[in-house]
Structure 1
Amino acid sequence: MSAAALQQEEEQGRIGPYCLLGRLSAGGMGVVYRARHEETGELVALKTVRVPEVAMLRGIRREIHALRRIQHPGVVRVLAEGVQDGLPWYAMELLEGMTLRRFIDVLWRRDARMTQEVPTQAVSAPAPLTSGEGRMVFQSYGPPPEDQRRPAAQGRLDEVLSLVRRLCSSLAFLHGEGLVHRDLKPDNIVIRPDGTPVLVDFGLASNFGGPLSRESLDVSGSMEGSYIYMAPEQIKGGLVDARADLYSLGCILHELVVGQPPFSGMGWEVLRRHLKETPHAPSRWVHGVPPELDALVLRMLAKVPRERIGYVADVGAVLVGLCSGALSEDAPPAPRPYLYRPEFVGRLGLLEELEARLERVREQQGGCLFIGGESGAGKTRLVMECAVLASRRAFRVVTGGCLPLSGGAGGESRHGEPLHAFKPLLQAIADECRQRGLHETEHLLGERGKVLALYEPALAELPGQDAWPEPPRLPPQAARERLMRCLAGTLAAFCEKDPVLLVMDDLQWADELSLGALDFLREGFLRGASMLVMGTYRTEELGTALRVLIESPGMEHRVLGQFDAPVVACMVEDMLSMASPPASFVNFLTTRSAGNPFFVAEYLRTAIDERLLYRDALGQWQVAARDDALARLHEALPLPGSLHDLVCRRLDGLGTEARRLLEVAAVLGRELDSDILAAAAGLEDLQELEALEELRARHVLEDAGNGRLRFVHDKLREFSYEGISPGRGRALHRAAALALEAQDVWGGVSPSLYPVLAHHWEQAQDDVWTFEYLEKAARHALAAGSNAEACGYLNRALELEVRRGRDRGVRLDAVRRARWERLLAEALHGLSDFDGCIVHCQRSLEELGEPLPNTERGWWRFLLAQAARQVLHLMVPQRWRRVEDRQARERLGDAALSALRLAECYYWRYDAFRMMATALLSTNLAERAGRDEKVLRLYGQLGSIAGFARLDALARAYFRRAQQEDRALDDPSAMAFGLISESMYHASFARWPRAALKASEAQGTLLLLGNQGEFELTEVLLGHVDFFTGHFEQALERFARLRETARKRGHFQHMVWSMYTMARSLLVLDRGDEARVLLRESAALLEGKHDPLSHIITRGLLAVAALERGEWEAARDEADQVMVLARRYPPMLFTEGHGYEGAARTYLTLWERERVSGQPAPAVAAEARAACERLSSFSNRFPLAGPMALRCEGRMHWLAGRAWRARQALKRSARRARELGMPLDEALAWLELGRVLELGSRERESCLRQAREGFAALGCAGLVRQAEALLSGGPPAA
């Protein structure tokens, strides 16, 4: 609530049923009024609480309600609570009496005007406090000489110790309810007229989870409290428990006895002393202090929590022994026993290793480090400790976790929305931009913000983001790659000033896109960045995708083992706050828990909750109904042996309403929105608060901040969900779905909720809404590039539809089933699963009434029919008008898209026959469906097909139509693809200027779109133009750039292409050793991959490289592999000629070596003829290969003794190369012709001179030497 709203409330004079009578106090946490109940006339102190964010409202109300449950005479009673105009308030009893601050002033005869109130501080950086108003200042001096010491507590030591003892009773009860005050100071304690101290002002009170809490990844680095009384762990911004209140109580006891707190001074100096200096014993300041009191105060003021006295009740017990007066008051309610969170133990060596790893991050040696372990092994605690260390070293620490969709057993959980593992990081970047304004927003995000906002909507609302245009639509794979580049660019800017530690918990639940982003960042960003990604995962739930990522090169990996008995002993010692627990008990826990920290804590927690284990009046742990020592505790506790039974036993003890709410929470998931929980549970407001408080007190749920709750440990959720009956489960999932859908009625359902709602409706057995949200989730995942996630949703939809048809005899309409099959095929295509894509495209066409043939003869008839139909479309288009019925057009459009994807798969499967047939089918269907930007790429593909069939006029017509349609529909992405197809077509016919022009035009569009994948395709085409036109160095540089960008993107195909094309230039430039390295790397990458094109080219070039070194057998092996593939697959792309030429050249060289004058041709001659025939056939389809085919043919004729035919073929080769603008091939033809002509002839010399001049102009030093050697009198070919 704003200040104006507060003033308006005060002027109106009413909040809830209370009339405001005036302000009592005001501070940063809210305002306290004196008020009267309208009906009863009861006077109260009414406090309003400021809410920084609306999301925190329900959490603050839960805390208020938790305080209302506290019924103890030493804790102020909360009488009523509520919310008015978004402002939570609560009414407390109006206490009569003085504060402990006033009591101390009177006791030590101080002037109250000189000792002002000590305010609560919230400090996140070490800024010194000034001497302004609202701060208490004590004179800083050491203990006085003995003769100047005054009596302890001014001679009223019994009275003071009795007062503190009664205060211990109140504080012990508060701690037993799981609450920590965190701001304990004399100002927050009121002494009633009867002498009873009462705790008030719980503005900073918080729950502490004890050892059972699953560690929270919240590392704020801030401290809150009153600095005069603040515990060291609070000053450090660490986690606090009841022992922080013990420290503050020790400061208060010191001040009561001595007259001043243990540490005094100016602001930050006091905090330094809390951290560094050992306090003097009270007896050094005053006389009359018993040694037991000295020891007690010093133990309470220990710097390390575990070194303090364990429990407030133990302090009270010591004080009872020191008080000489009798105890007259009634016994207060006994506090509930509780456990402490143990110190970090068992992994100190690993933590030191992680600390050293952080130091390397400062030197821009970033990376990815994974921590594995079974559930409950302490993974989160380890990374949390590392995060604290990083925070203290000025790292930016961002923490978050991956969540399964919602309730269910571990194996049933599905992954969350795309990129959800990075949402906390994107939210942290959004916070940074909000704080620093437009300039920082432009630096961190700029135009990237619009792309990233698709995954974190808060980014779209940042300053200046509305000025950037919407990112252009791209195909899914290109959109995914753009996202990766944008994410890497933003992270690079984010870690410029300070190093960054990004912690991701529970990566076993990470979605495909998040894992893909980690893989991309590992390869192209993290190695040279000041950023470390630290992720945890459950070893028992390690999936294939995460395993592959962890095993990738450069990934760092650690697995946590079990705790042994000494470490478990340390845990028990900390949790029970006792020294040296019995060895037999520790061994028992170690064995039963298998060294799992969570099981150890759960065992002890259950024992305490059921009062099987309790602390007696002397503070000793005892076993109920027996007089055994703790050493025999394991024999006396009738607890189950399995973790499942142990947890279920504890949950069975919950009340009815708490159990109902727990079931709803288990259905909603590990972390949940409290408003959604309230809506789905349908409980009354107070019922819900009561149930939530019980679940919190029993350490089942805890506050996760920003209006969210989470299970203390996911095993609690899993076991809770298992206990829900089927009928109850269906009803709860339906309620959860309705609550989620209703949360934003006007804005519609967020795409991030599609998978969650599909899950809930499926569990509710509502097929209609299940199918609706599964399809929406699949479409959203496809658009985000999360192909594996999309496959999961679509497979599930198809499985459910088949089951529904089997069980109920009702099937969905064929169009919808076909659409799912097509979308599934799209996802599989994105995963490069072409076989699976073909299967589902065929199923889609069958559902739509367009079945494909299943015999070779049928395919031939099918191809002819589709070709005839397309010719008729072109010749008499008026006869083929668009279908008018909308549903029919939708069916035809879906069928066209399925056929288009089939054509692409057949292309990559080297099945030109079926590729042409399905491409024609797709075009015919699309033309009947009407113009649709989804099928515009067909015309570019048909242009290429027509061109390869030497139907140039038809090819040009298709290319023109593609450009016209693209411009009409303003689809630059489709236009660019059409230009790429046309460039490939021109390159195949050696029309180099046109090929370069079309590729360059496409590049301009693709740069604007940010489509890196297709931009790299244009670079490949331009590189080929460079090579074939003789610009080898330029081609080498272009393909080297391609190799680097492809490596950063992790694009296997483009990496392989860049390697063998670089090697091709290096071989020509006489740099064979470098070429061989690249070719071997290419061959290694191709191992096990179905990519015949790249195999053929790589093997052919390896054969040439082996020939140059005289490695004849190695060359033959490579050539043999080329021919095996050549016989299996038809030629598909113009670049394959290098592979066929390499094989032919190898066999021809071996023929030349093995032939014997007067003897029949060697066996290898047959292989040479076959290779030359293959190359000649290839040149018929791809004319640019004509010069190399004629060159090999000429050499073959010479070896066969047909000299005239050899010379004619070689002359044609040179002539054809000149016509096509291929200078290298022309010079090679002259060189080969010179080798076969008669020694000393003018024609031979002329040919060799032309070859030498050509090679020299091209920079081919090795080939120049060959020409000069022949010119100097070397022999002709043998």
Structure 2
Amino acid sequence: MEMANPGEIIVTERVAQRIAGKFECDALPPLKVKGKSQPVPVFRIMGALRQQRRTGVRAGQFVGRASERAQLDELVKSLLEGQDQLVIIEGDAGIGKSSLIGAWLDATATRGIRVLSGSGSTIDQATPYHVWASVFSRLFQWESLPADREQQRLHVLARLETLGLAARAPLLNVVLPLDLPDNDQTRDMTGRVRADNTHDVLVALLQQAASEGPLLIVIEDAQWLDSASWSMLVAVTRQVSPLLVAVSTRPLTRPVPPEYQDLLEMPGLMHMRLGTFQPGDAIQIVCQRLGVTALPEQVSALILEKAEGHPFFSEELAYALRDSGVLRIVDGQATVAPGVDLTALNLPDTVEGVVTSRIDLLTPGQQLTVKVASVIGRVFNYQVLEDVHPVESDRARLLEYLQHLQNLDVTPLATPPPDLSYKFRHVITQEAAYNLLLFAQRRQLHQAVAEWYERMFADDPSPFYPLLAHHWLSANETAPSELATKKAIEYLEKAGVASLHSYANREAAEFFTKLLDMVTPANARSFGISDLQMARWEYQLGEAHNRLGHLVECEQHFVRSLDYLGFPLPKTSGRLVLGILRIALSQLLIRFRPTGRDSRPQFDGDSLEARRLACRIYERLGLLNFEKNNPGLESYYCPLASLELAEEIGPSPELAIAYSYMASAFGLIPVHRFARVYERLSLQTAEQVDNPLITARVLMAVSVYTAGVGRFSETEERLRRSIAAFEQGGVWEWWGVCMEMLARVEQHHGYFQQAIELASRLYAVAKQQGDIVKQSWGLTSRMDANVMMDDHIDIPAIAVELEKLVAKSRETGPRQKFHSASALIHMRRGEWEAADKNARQLLAIISGERPTSFGLLTGYVAAADTYLQLWERAALPDMDHVKKQAVVACKLLERYAGILPVGEPAHFRTQGLYAWLSGDAKKAQSLWKKSL
């Protein structure tokens, strides 16, 4: 430019932005330029940035951590040999996790390894899959694609076509900005089904990448991962091969995410815990950061005394001394300013305090810039910063301020123009800047950021619901306003619904809990919130708790929802009995009236929705009681209440499912005549509804009844149909239930090899998904079949794995099946005391339960067989104990057979042996004939 002095280069703002990552620029006062009404920002080029400043310390210059770097290098060698590896790098904030990973990646840059990375974010930690957006952007090289959205979609679809997954492309919306509408295959996918299918697609893409060459996935700041990202991380680590996964995290406080515990228990894990640096290494790092060869001895001593080898604390202390003028740096030499007494300095004792002192040294404009940026996030976009900055006159100088902050290593450049972004060097810096804001400033800035996102993404703000909820909640802190409160309510609901849809259940529970803390029965009307809306939120919170296994909280919120809906669960035993009798009598009249139900009432939209929701809740409560083997009155009332509501609605998925549950319920009472009526009605209604997945659920539910009465041919055919439908629809949860039932049916028929094959597949799929309950189902079915075949080769290994799974499970089913198989194995081996121990534990479980399914039969039979055989062999010194336990076990099996006829042959057989051992040979022979 003409204004430049000889040898000086002056450039415009646009040029300065483009070269910001390569050259150091110093902002000059704006210049008046011909043709422009306002002065134009200009910059002087100071020179090229040193490589260290641009990319961080190169691997060859990295200081310390020699042992850790050697271990990481061994992992790379193993990956290149085709082995799977997992490393967790754990350490406190600022201890150098990212620096170590950066140096490691620099060292591997020439070894042909593809690196895909992502980082957790404190602001985005409630956004499902947020850490994987960066991973898949890198996988598809998003930055190099044309800006045209249609071309981006075609690029992704082409890759999915090679995997046969194009129909599931809309599931990628959670990690890529595709905006693909749901299609016929994905439209009905919600919750667990959507999560499982999303995992399948993402895992397949990463597996394709791993098959093309060595793949390293790096996930940093895992302490801020959302639950969907955690779940995906476990799935990828388990299923993609060969693969090296590196995870960095701060130490996690209890309760730790269960997925993190899964990672800690994976075989071959390298768990690396980083501590502070040795004194010499700490000072060398500081010298590198300052660009000096050495520090004055007294400065080194001061830094070591204060920071105690903590790398980030050491660096920030050094920067603070430099910024304040205490430490002078000229031509790579550091000296203490004349007249300065280091011992008299009042330096903060914490790294946060030191960072704050550095911010205090900035000019007011620079301070405000860094504070505003802290509200946006650790990585902040320049355009957002400019638009929300509260001082309009400062906006023209933002690039100048940011350049100075970059030179101070406070907020280095993250991405160059056109998407210009900066990043706080450490989250500690961001937090320190944020804490300097007054509460009124925080509210103002959070509202400004929220409104910016609403404006910029008005067409589809759905990817930003969690972020908008965060900003509007923060805008409402300490001094709520009507606007901020209503906006917070709006986005908490939307974020909660989206989280449930994505199976991000921890986040869903948090959103709806906050929502119901804000909106209470006392103030709901003032916000215009209806009882139906309150019922929805209580149900959604209950559903989130249900998926998390928090059954007490789940039931509490379901019951509150029913109260809002006007269909309350009776609170006393007397009212429950009256309710059961009323609905049962109504059902009798309907079933035996020649024309059935005369007519159905017509409901408006809200009334119909209320009945559908109440019907669904009663169905869930009935299922929860069934799974808990709860013989209380609620276990009878809830299915009946669900049925009553479903019949008011008419032919529907709710009615088909309600009929199928009633078939099972009457089978357990047992009143088999009614059970068969509801079996027929459920199948007819499912045919009317004409939905393959609803039909599959109905077939699965009635199979519980038909298996219990020994109608195995029908049961097998129905289960195979359900399995095919669930597999096609990706409904792996119900698929697993059907697979376990089918394996038991095959075993009962004596087809032990087929049972083992089914159980092995169930175990493999459940292991991929991390479902410990269904893994235990698969292993117990395999173990039972092996025992029946008298094939003990695989049993020890199965027993070891099964015992680990049972220890993790809170359900009684896996424990029952483990102890039943273990008791029989010990009997076959002649290990009488061990058999007795397992049989006692087995009796303790089944004596407190009501028989509910065919799959539990093996436990009842195993208990009776164990004690009768111990009696027959006189195997233990205390035979009185053996005989008493045999009586208990036989009575329990008799109770099972009285409810589920499939148990009658085993009941007669064991009763016959009991009579024989008691000296009544005639009775024994009669009972044995019945058993045949």
TM-score by length of 1: 0.65
Q: Pairwise mapping of residues 587-598 of structure 1 onto structure 2 (< 5 A)?
A: 587-598=301-312
The one-letter amino acid paired with 1:907 is F
Decide which of 112, 117, 122 is 1:394's aligned counterpart.
112
Pick closer, same or farther for the CA change 1:908–1:884 going to 2, 3 Å: same
> Structure 1 residue 730 and structure 2 residue 448: aligned?
no
Residue 708 of structure 1: how far off its partner (Å): 2.9
Decide which of 809, 820, 827 is 1:1100's aligned counterpart.
820
The one-letter amino acid paired with 2:443 is R
Q: Pairwise mapping of residues 441-452 of structure 1 onto structure 2 (< 5 A)?
A: 441-443=160-162, 446-447=165-166, 450=169, 452=171
> Structure 1 residue 777 and structure 2 residue 495: aligned?
yes
Pick closer, same or farther for the CA change 1:367–1:1094 going to 2, 3 Å: same
Pick closer, same or farther for the CA change 1:1042–1:742 going to 2, 3 Å: same
Decide which of 387, 393, 398 is 1:679's aligned counterpart.
387
Query: What SS does the corresponding residue of 1:496 show, helix, strand or coil?
Result: helix
Q: What is aligned with 1:420?
A: 130
For residues 467-507 of structure 1, give each alpha carbon's deviation from its aligned partner in whole angstroms, at most 9, with x where no partner exists. 98643534522332222233222211111121111111111
**CA–CA distance in 2 between the matches of 1:428 and 1:1175?**
60
Residue 816 of structure 1: how far off its partner (Å): 2.6
Residue 401 of structure 1: how far off its partner (Å): 0.8
Residue 395 of structure 1: how far off its partner (Å): 0.6
Residue 513 of structure 1: how far off its partner (Å): 1.4
**CA–CA distance in 1 between the matches of 2:903 and 2:296?**
86
1:825·1:841 contact (CA, 8 Å) conserved in 2? yes
1:1103·1:1119 contact (CA, 8 Å) conserved in 2? yes
How many residue pairs end up in the alignment? 899
The one-letter amino acid paired with 2:199 is M
2:96·2:311 contact (CA, 8 Å) conserved in 1? yes
Decide which of 855, 868, 872 is 2:585's aligned counterpart.
868
**CA–CA distance in 1 between the matches of 2:893 and 2:59?**
82
Residue 917 of structure 1: how far off its partner (Å): 1.4
Q: What is aligned with 2:786?
A: 1066
Bigger drift between 434-443 and 579-588 goes to 434-443
Q: What is aligned with 1:901?
A: 620
For residues 1099-1132 of structure 1, give each alpha carbon's deviation from its aligned partner in whole angstroms, at most 9, with x where no partner exists. 2332222222223333223222222223211111
2:806·2:818 contact (CA, 8 Å) conserved in 1? no
Residue 956 of structure 1: how far off its partner (Å): 4.4
Q: Pairwise mapping of residues 5-20 of structure 1 onto structure 2 (< 5 A)?
A: none
Decide which of 890, 894, 904 is 1:1172's aligned counterpart.
890
Decide which of 441, 456, 459 is 1:743's aligned counterpart.
456
Query: What SS does the corresponding residue of 2:211 show, helix, strand or coil?
Result: coil
**CA–CA distance in 2 between the matches of 1:578 and 1:697?**
16
Query: What SS does the corresponding residue of 1:392 show, helix, strand or coil?
Result: coil
**CA–CA distance in 1 between the matches of 2:802 and 2:107?**
44
For residues 931-957 of structure 1, give each alpha carbon's deviation from its aligned partner in whole angstroms, at most 9, with x where no partner exists. 654675333222222333454454444
Q: What is aligned with 2:606?
A: 887
**CA–CA distance in 2 between the matches of 1:1016 and 1:707?**
49
Q: Pairwise mapping of residues 762-801 of structure 1 onto structure 2 (< 5 A)?
A: 762-765=473-476, 766-801=484-519
Query: What SS does the corresponding residue of 2:519 show, helix, strand or coil?
Result: helix
> Structure 1 residue 654 and structure 2 residue 362: aligned?
yes
Structure 2 alignment gaps of length 5 or more: 4-8, 147-154, 477-483
Q: Pairwise mapping of residues 135-150 of structure 1 onto structure 2 (< 5 A)?
A: none
Pick closer, same or farther for the CA change 1:880–1:619 going to 2, 3 Å: same
The one-letter amino acid paired with 2:717 is L
Q: What is aligned with 1:1131?
A: 851
The one-letter amino acid paired with 1:761 is W
**CA–CA distance in 2 between the matches of 1:79 and 1:355?**
56
Decide which of 861, 864, 880 is 1:1141's aligned counterpart.
861
Q: Pairwise mapping of residues 163-562 of structure 1 onto structure 2 (< 5 A)?
A: 174=46, 180=48, 239=55, 343-405=61-123, 415-431=125-141, 440-443=159-162, 446-447=165-166, 450=169, 452-458=171-177, 470-471=185-186, 473-474=188-189, 476-522=191-237, 524-526=238-240, 529-539=241-251, 544-545=256-257, 548-554=261-267, 555-562=269-276
Pick closer, same or farther for the CA change 1:1001–1:619 going to 2, 3 Å: closer
Query: What SS does the corresponding residue of 1:1201 show, helix, strand or coil?
Result: coil
> Structure 1 residue 1019 and structure 2 residue 729: aligned?
no
**CA–CA distance in 1 between the matches of 2:833 and 2:256?**
41
Q: Pairwise mapping of residues 1115-1130 of structure 1 onto structure 2 (< 5 A)?
A: 1115-1130=835-850
For residues 562-599 of structure 1, give each alpha carbon's deviation from its aligned partner in whole angstroms, at most 9, with x where no partner exists. 11211122123333444443333212201211212222
Q: What is aligned with 1:1001?
A: 721
1:82·1:90 contact (CA, 8 Å) conserved in 2? no
Q: Pairwise mapping of residues 602-681 of structure 1 onto structure 2 (< 5 A)?
A: 602-615=316-329, 620-626=333-339, 634-635=342-343, 639-681=347-389
Pick closer, same or farther for the CA change 1:1180–1:437 going to 2, 3 Å: closer
Q: What is aligned with 2:751?
A: 1031
Pick closer, same or farther for the CA change 1:1068–1:441 going to 2, 3 Å: closer
2:819·2:838 contact (CA, 8 Å) conserved in 1? yes
Q: What is aligned with 2:6?
A: none
For residues 610-641 of structure 1, give each alpha carbon's deviation from its aligned partner in whole angstroms, at most 9, with x where no partner exists. 3333246x875343452x6xxx6x33655434
**CA–CA distance in 1 between the matches of 2:900 and 2:156?**
58
Residue 742 of structure 1: how far off its partner (Å): 1.0
Pick closer, same or farther for the CA change 1:641–1:1062 going to 2, 3 Å: closer
Q: What is aligned with 2:432?
A: 719
Residue 379 of structure 1: how far off its partner (Å): 0.8
For residues 108-131 of structure 1, give each alpha carbon's deviation from its aligned partner in whole angstroms, at most 9, with x where no partner exists. xxxxxxxxxxxxxxxxxxxxxxxx
**CA–CA distance in 1 between the matches of 2:740 and 2:348?**
67
Residue 839 of structure 1: how far off its partner (Å): 2.2
Pick closer, same or farther for the CA change 1:932–1:719 going to 2, 3 Å: farther
Query: What SS does the corresponding residue of 1:400 show, helix, strand or coil?
Result: strand
The one-letter amino acid paired with 2:536 is R
**CA–CA distance in 1 between the matches of 2:190 and 2:524?**
38
For residues 174-218 of structure 1, give each alpha carbon's deviation from its aligned partner in whole angstroms, at most 9, with x where no partner exists. 25xxxx368xxxxxxxxxxxxxxxxxxxxxxxxx895xxxxxxxx
Residue 1147 of structure 1: how far off its partner (Å): 2.4
For residues 268-319 of structure 1, give each alpha carbon's deviation from its aligned partner in whole angstroms, at most 9, with x where no partner exists. xxxxxxxxxxxxxxxxxxxxxxxxxxxxxxxxxxxx999xxxxxxxxxxxxx
Q: What is aligned with 2:27?
A: 69
For residues 824-865 of structure 1, give each alpha carbon's deviation from its aligned partner in whole angstroms, at most 9, with x where no partner exists. 221122122223222221222233333323443443223222
Residue 63 of structure 1: how far off its partner (Å): 8.4
Larger Rg: 1
**CA–CA distance in 2 between the matches of 1:1014 and 1:774?**
30
Q: Pairwise mapping of residues 63-142 of structure 1 onto structure 2 (< 5 A)?
A: 67=25, 69-70=27-28
The percentage of counterpart residues that share the same residue type is 24
Pick closer, same or farther for the CA change 1:80–1:1109 going to 2, 3 Å: farther
Bigger drift between 689-698 and 550-559 goes to 689-698
2:140·2:156 contact (CA, 8 Å) conserved in 1? no
Pick closer, same or farther for the CA change 1:623–1:79 going to 2, 3 Å: farther
Pick closer, same or farther for the CA change 1:530–1:808 going to 2, 3 Å: same
Pick closer, same or farther for the CA change 1:539–1:583 going to 2, 3 Å: farther
Pick closer, same or farther for the CA change 1:990–1:472 going to 2, 3 Å: farther
> Structure 1 residue 975 and structure 2 residue 791: aligned?
no
Query: What SS does the corresponding residue of 1:539 show, helix, strand or coil?
Result: coil
TM-score by length of 2: 0.88
The one-letter amino acid paired with 1:537 is T
The one-letter amino acid paired with 2:248 is T
> Structure 1 residue 1200 and structure 2 residue 918: aligned?
yes
Pick closer, same or farther for the CA change 1:1086–1:81 going to 2, 3 Å: farther
**CA–CA distance in 2 between the matches of 1:676 and 1:1100?**
63
**CA–CA distance in 2 between the matches of 1:1199 and 1:82?**
112
**CA–CA distance in 2 between the matches of 1:452 and 1:642?**
45
Q: What is aligned with 1:756?
A: 467
**CA–CA distance in 1 between the matches of 2:548 and 2:671?**
34
Residue 678 of structure 1: how far off its partner (Å): 2.6
Q: What is aligned with 2:636?
A: 916
Q: Pairwise mapping of residues 950-965 of structure 1 onto structure 2 (< 5 A)?
A: 950-952=670-672, 954-965=674-685
Pick closer, same or farther for the CA change 1:783–1:59 going to 2, 3 Å: farther
Pick closer, same or farther for the CA change 1:827–1:619 going to 2, 3 Å: closer
Residue 358 of structure 1: how far off its partner (Å): 0.4
